[in-house]
Amino acid sequence: MTRTELYKLIRRKESFLCVGLDSDMEKIPKHLLDYEDPVFEFNRAIIDATIDLAVAYKPNLAFYESRGMAGWNSLEKTIQYLNGFKNEVFTIADAKRGDIGNTSKLYAKAFFSGTYAAMNFDAVTVAPYMGSDSVTPFLSYPGKWAVVLALTSNKGADDFQLIENEQGKLFEVVLKTSSQWGSPDNMMYVVGATQAATLKEIRQIVPDHFLLIPGVGAQGGSLEEVVKKGINKQCGLLVNASRSIIFASQDKDFDKAARSEAQNMQVQMRKYLNEFCAL
């Protein structure tokens, strides 16, 4: 999906919500455990209940890998199901991959090409520590995206990402350097919602890039704060919520509860889009 198409989708749905499919076998409603693939049944219900309210879905690979082959199978079925909604969803494999060039090439192939696996995501999250050749293989697929970690929402983000050097803090150097490897048409950055105070600095370095913002909801970040400091004319934000939506209820009505949470966010997002963005 191109940047223009993504922005059109955002305007059509009046939303920049990304739903994180952190589909934890131990937290999904118990009645689903009777199905052959409870996680896929859960994901399908969540997707069906939110498809008109969310522009993106982001399975967190750990929740699938930790279940081995069965988990991998749930993941493949989920991405296939999402790809059935042609041009209606942007899909992100939250995998935090990154390795030497030859190896990153294979990861890109795994998530983007659909050659062997049935996986054909629009984007993959990528860790920057190993530098250019660990990221650039993800940039050579037309319409596909590398979402590079910049400033994350977790406690440990302070350990290295904020280290000062001559060129600024490490995450600023990551933004400055890596933004040269691609363009706002094939790179996004992860910035935690709990780091909203830094969004103004970040927008000075990457005014046009989309930012994937986790940490609103269960992790405590504020949507209003994120929007006021991070939104641009073409929106430039995908705000992710995982647990607060998908586990809004653990009863049989979990999908309705998820929809209600998603709708709360979408209503606010519509207002912000109309206030700050170009038509």
Pairing of strands 187-191, 168-169: unpaired
Q: Among 57-65, 195-203, 227-235, 266-274, which window interacts with its own copies (CB under 8 A)? A: 57-65
If DSSP states are collapsed to H, E and C, what string results for 201-255?
HHHHHCCCCEEEECCECCCCECHHHHHHHHCECCECEEEEECHHHHCCCCCCCHH
In the list 84, 129, 204, 250, the residue contacting its own copies (rule: CB under 8 A) is: 129
Q: Which of 27, 30, 77, 96 is catalytic?
A: 96
**Stretch binding its own copies (CB under 8 A), from 8-16, 31-39, 63-71, 230-238:** 63-71
CB of 255 to its own copies, least distance (A): 23
Touching its own copies, residues 13-52 (CB under 8 A): 22
Dihedral angle at the C-alpha atoms of 184, 271, 94, 150, nearest 10 degrees? 50
Binding of its own copies at residue 198 (CB under 8 A)?
no
Nearer to its own copies by C-beta: 71 or 269? Answer: 71
DSSP class of residue 271 equals H
Residue 9 CB contacts under 8 Å (≥ 6 apart), including other chains: 1, 55, 87, 88, 89, 90
Rounded CA gap, 18 and 127, in Å? 20
With contacts defined by CB under 8 A, name the span among 6-14, 101-109, 199-207, 268-276 that binds its own copies: 101-109
Site for its own copies in 163-192 (CB under 8 A): 163-167, 170, 173-174, 177-178
The residue among 68 and 142 lying less far from its own copies, judged by its C-beta, is 68
Among 44, 67, 229, 256, binds its own copies (CB under 8 A): 67
Binding of its own copies at residue 195 (CB under 8 A)? no
Task: Reply yes or no on whether 233 is catalytic.
Answer: no
Q: How many CA atoms lie within 13 A of 220 on its CB side?
A: 5
Instruction: Give all strands (DSSP E) within the chain, no chain letters.
Output: 17-21, 56-59, 90-97, 123-126, 145-151, 164-165, 168-169, 187-191, 210-213, 237-241
Q: Kindly provide the residue ranges of all beta strands, DSSP E only, lying in 37-173, ordered along the sequence.
A: 56-59, 90-97, 123-126, 145-151, 164-165, 168-169
The verdict on 139 binding its own copies (CB under 8 A) reads: no
Choose which of 57, 107, 121, 254 interacts with its own copies (CB under 8 A): 107
Size of the site for its own copies (CB under 8 A): 62
Assigned token pair, 9? 């989708």
244 sits near its own copies (criterion: CB under 8 A): no
Residue 23: HSE in the Cβ half-sphere, 13 Å Cα cutoff: 31
Q: Which of 40, 63, 90, 210 binds its own copies (CB under 8 A)?
A: 63
Stretch of 4-12, 102-110, 222-230, 249-257 lying at the interface with its own copies (CB under 8 A): 102-110
Instruction: Measure the CA–CA gap between 226 and 192, rounded to whole angstroms.
Output: 9
Residues designated as active site = 96
Q: Which residues bind its own copies (CB under 8 A)?
A: 22, 60, 62-63, 65-73, 76, 94, 96-101, 103-104, 106-107, 109-110, 115-119, 127-135, 149, 152-161, 163-167, 170, 173-174, 177-178
